[in-house]
Amino acid sequence: MHSIECDTVVLGVLDYADADKIVTLFTLENGKVKGLARNAKKSRKRFGGALEPFARLRLQLTLKEGLSTLNGADVINVFPHIRADLSKIANAAYACELVEQLVGEGEQNPRLFRLLTAYLEHLNLTDHAPSDRRFFEANLLKVLGYQPELARCASCDQDLANMPQLRFSPSFAGILCSSCGRTGRPVSPETLSLLIRSLTTGRFGLVHFSPDGLAEAGAILDAAIACHLTRPLKSLNFMEQVSC
Ligand SMILES: [Zn+2]
């Protein structure tokens, strides 16, 4: 079996036995891969301390059924400015945990890889902004084919454009028009148009939700994500603790 090179983001790291690490990776070329890094805790020669959560690496590995073997790593970016800021760490960990849970092993998804690396680069180089998390989530859902319906009523299929009163219904997992939406959280037309814009601009930092808009968009996106999760996200607790 020969060693291949992959462009990789480290999604998670677990210590294993005395000296090894089990690492969950999201690779551009081979999707999600779990790998064993032998002696990674003791030998800095092969991995150089690179096996850290959300680090971006050029990784040498031998692909195998089950656990692949990590042979070496060159750092592309460890995102030092994320690591110096708790709220950025929380957001990066959350993004990685979402990808880890929502992507099956071996499923190649170059668009998702680009989205995740763009988010990490943006978090690293700019001040933390809560809108970016929602931008990431909206696009994550889109890339995975789970995009919530934002243009038409989830009950009667009417066009939602120019409707003054909209409501989000978790049971419909969508937005309801003025006639169908008797209960549920009100959603302003501004929030809806910013969510739609999030899916069309393609660049972090261009969409800014107001505090009310963040809460409305958050309710829609959290519900859309929650129905695809198989277990609670550990990083959400951390994110709440550092309140971002
Ligand atoms: Zn309707």
98-102, 118-122, 180-184, 195-199, range with the lowest pLDDT: 180-184
- Report residue 27 as tokens: 């690779």
Residue 10 shares a structural domain with residue 88: no
**Residue 171 CB-half CA count within 13 A:** 6
Residue 204 shares a structural domain with residue 86: yes
pLDDT tens by residue, 133-191: 999 999 999 999 999 889 999 999 999 988 888 999 988 888 999 999 888 889 999 99
Q: Pick from 29, 49, 78: which residue ends a domain?
A: 78
Among 118, 170, 166, CA closest to 139: 118
Distance 202 CA to ligand 1 centre (A): 29
Residue 62 shares a structural domain with residue 10: yes
Average the pLDDT over 82-108 and give the result: 96
Domain extent at residue 135: 81-241
Distance 167 CA to ligand 1 centre (A): 10
Distance 172 CA to ligand 1 centre (A): 11
Number of domains in the chain: 2
Distance CA 197, CA 138 (A): 10
Residue 41: CATH number of its domain:
2.40.50.140
| pLDDT over threshold 60, residue 124 | yes
Residue 226 shares a structural domain with residue 163: yes
Long-range contacts of 232-238 (CB under 8 A, 24+ apart): 233/94, 233/97, 233/98, 233/101, 234/97, 235/90, 235/93, 235/94, 235/96, 235/97, 236/94, 238/90, 238/93, 238/94
Q: Are 128 and 81 in contact (CB under 8 A)?
A: no
Distance 137 CA to ligand 1 centre (A): 25
Residue 57 shares a structural domain with residue 96: no
DSSP helix/strand/coil, 219: helix
Tell me which residue has tokens 């680069």: 121
Q: Pick from 46, 78, 110: which residue ends a domain?
A: 78
Q: Which residues contact 222 (CB under 8 A, 6 or more apart)?
A: none
| pLDDT for the residue 183 | 84
Residue 86: CATH number of its domain:
1.20.1440.120
Residue 117 shares a structural domain with residue 144: yes
- Report residue 189 as tokens: 């037309």
Distance CA 13, CA 22 (A): 6
Distance 216 CA to ligand 1 centre (A): 19
Residue 230 shares a structural domain with residue 123: yes
Q: Pick from 51, 78, 105: which residue ends a domain?
A: 78
